[in-house]
Amino acid sequence: MSFFNENSRDKIYEEMEGKQPSTKGSVVAKILSIVLLLSLGFASGSIYSTITNNDNTEEAVSSDLPLIDNFTPVSSSSTTTVSPNSFSAVVDKTANSVVEISLYTTQSSMMSSYSYQAETNGSGVIISADGYIITNNHVVEGAEEINVILRNGDEYTAELVGTDSKTDIAIIKIDATDLSYAKIGNSDNALVGDFVMAIGNPLGKLGGTVTYGYISALEREITIEGKNMNLMQVDAAVNPGNSGGGLFNANGELIGIVSAKSTGYDVEGLGFAIPINDISDVINDLLTHGYATNRPFLGVKMSDAAQPSTINPYGNSIFDFFYQQMQYGARIEEVYENSPADEAGIKVGDIIVSVNGNVVSSSSDVSSEISNCEVGDTIEIGLIRDNRTKTVKVTLVEYQGEK
């Protein structure tokens, strides 16, 4: 379709060729008018399209979007309202319930009898308004002083309420009130692919760090320090110091306690958490009794130890003088009165090197072997005493807390 008739077009051509120079200004004005009319037409279409798109955008912002769609704002406008189900909203519901934990333990040098204090760090989750906190047993094990730092920076000294090495769970308490605490969820309802969020204190210096991802697998059988545990596998970033922190679902409910990370130069995205349903009975036992019921008890306090051995593994005595290795084990620091160990004749200074024929190289190895036994089991413990080996039989009883 043409916007000009034939006569008008010929007239314009004649004017442009200079046949009627006295009317050039008029012709140019007419051309500019036509161009302006065309521009206004296109602009009107654009304006209508923009208005229509803006209306659609406002409708999208106000609609009830799925959680995953709200991770990225749908508009860059500063007035955009974030959905109540957004990622930040879940953080707001949970982050104040997660604490930093720092503590001091006495460590023994493996090359001598020298002892020193070492600081370790972890995380914990507040489970009551009056200051009860759940964490990992390995975070607070052997602690002489436990310090807790809340998200707002308040610091407290915590007391140990109870521990259970078998499930790697411990309860500590601070003297505080009106605390934000975690809402307990149902880990049995968790599915592979569900959104999860981990909050903790990675590296012992970055308290309140939030990472998120998905459940990668359920009921992974993982061996940690000699203990077999069924854990939830997640791809949320987990680092040293996250232990004892919370794993939350999309509703902000606590469904797991972060326990371990698989490490290695070629390992990425492998974190593990203890499902909350698996430890609910233990938590109640620790809160009620201060210990987990039906746990076997040896009755000793141990530390990691090492002593030199000149046993030649090649069986040729001519090389005995030159061959030396370190024999590791668990040194007995204290024997509790009337305990199974006391009745079996175990003494302070003995070094445990085997349990039921399984070689142990540290106190945690011994604890792991004991935790895999049942109350009433009779076990054989291999000792080194005065540079001589000795085997004793011990009948385990139920642990009932520190006497």
Model confidence pLDDT, tens digit, residues 280-317 = 999 999 999 999 998 899 999 998 876 554 444 444 44
Check: CATH 3.40.50.720 for 296-398?
no
- DSSP class of residue 20? S
What would the two tokens of residue 237 be?
A: 């970033």
Q: 79-88, 142-151, 345-354 — which is least confidently predicted?
A: 79-88
Q: 4-13, 163-172, 175-184, 371-380 — which is least confidently predicted?
A: 4-13
Any catalytic annotation for residue 138? yes
Q: How confident is the model over 191-224, as pLDDT tens digits?
A: 999 999 999 888 877 877 888 889 999 988 877 6
- Tell me what the pLDDT averaged over the chain comes to: 76
Say if residue 66's pLDDT is above 90.
no
d(CA 398, CA 75): 61
- DSSP class of residue 382? E
Question: For the residues of 76-106, what is the DSSP string, one character each?
Answer: --TTPPPPTTSHHHHHHHHGGGEEEEEEEEE
State the catalytic residue, choosing from 83, 86, 123, 138: 138
Give the start-to-end residue ranges of the domains of the chain.
6-61, 183-280, 296-398
Please give the pLDDT value at position 36: 53
Choose between 214 and 106: higher pLDDT.
214
Say if residue 78's pLDDT is above 60.
no
d(CA 201, CA 207): 4
Residue 357 backbone zone (phi > 0: left; psi -120 to 50: alpha; other: beta): left
State the catalytic residue, choosing from 83, 243, 367, 368: 243
Please give the pLDDT value at position 58: 38
Share of the chain above pLDDT 90, in %: 42
Provide the pLDDT confidence category of residue 104 given band limits of 50, 70 and 90.
confident
Kindly give the residue spans of alpha helices, DSSP state H, lying in 148-306.
Answer: 280-288
Any catalytic annotation for residue 168? yes
Please give the pLDDT value at position 11: 45
Please give the pLDDT value at position 49: 44
Q: 14-18, 159-163, 184-188 — which is least confidently predicted?
A: 14-18
- Per this entry, what is the length of the chain? 403
Please give the pLDDT value at position 17: 42
Predicted TM-score (pTM) of this structure: 0.64
What would the two tokens of residue 85 be?
A: 């189900």
C-alpha distance across the termini of the chain, in Å = 102
The mean pLDDT of 177-204, rounded to a whole number, is 91
Q: Rounded to 5, what percent of the chain is helix, strand, coil?
A: 25, 35, 35
Provide the pLDDT confidence category of residue 67 given band limits of 50, 70 and 90.
very low
Say if residue 7's pLDDT is above 80.
no
d(CA 229, CA 245): 17
Single-letter amino acid code for the residue at 213 = G
Choose between 105 and 190: higher pLDDT.
190
d(CA 272, CA 262): 8
Please give the pLDDT value at position 226: 61
Choose between 58 and 308: higher pLDDT.
308
Share of the chain above pLDDT 70, in %: 66
Q: Are 241 and 213 spatial neighbours (Cβ–Cβ below 8 Å)?
A: no
Say if residue 16's pLDDT is above 50.
no
Q: Are 379 and 373 spatial neighbours (Cβ–Cβ below 8 Å)?
A: yes
d(CA 392, CA 383): 8
Choose between 133 and 73: higher pLDDT.
133
State the catalytic residue, choosing from 164, 168, 278, 365: 168
Say if residue 141's pLDDT is above 70.
yes
Please give the pLDDT value at position 368: 82
Give the 3-state secondary structure of residue 172. Answer: strand
Q: Which of 99, 97, 121, 50 is nearest to 253 (CA)?
A: 97
d(CA 44, CA 40): 6
Choose between 364 and 347: higher pLDDT.
347
Bridge partners, residue 305, by sequence? 329
Q: Which of 267, 319, 291 is nearest to 400 (CA)?
A: 291
CATH no. for 183-280 = 2.40.10.10
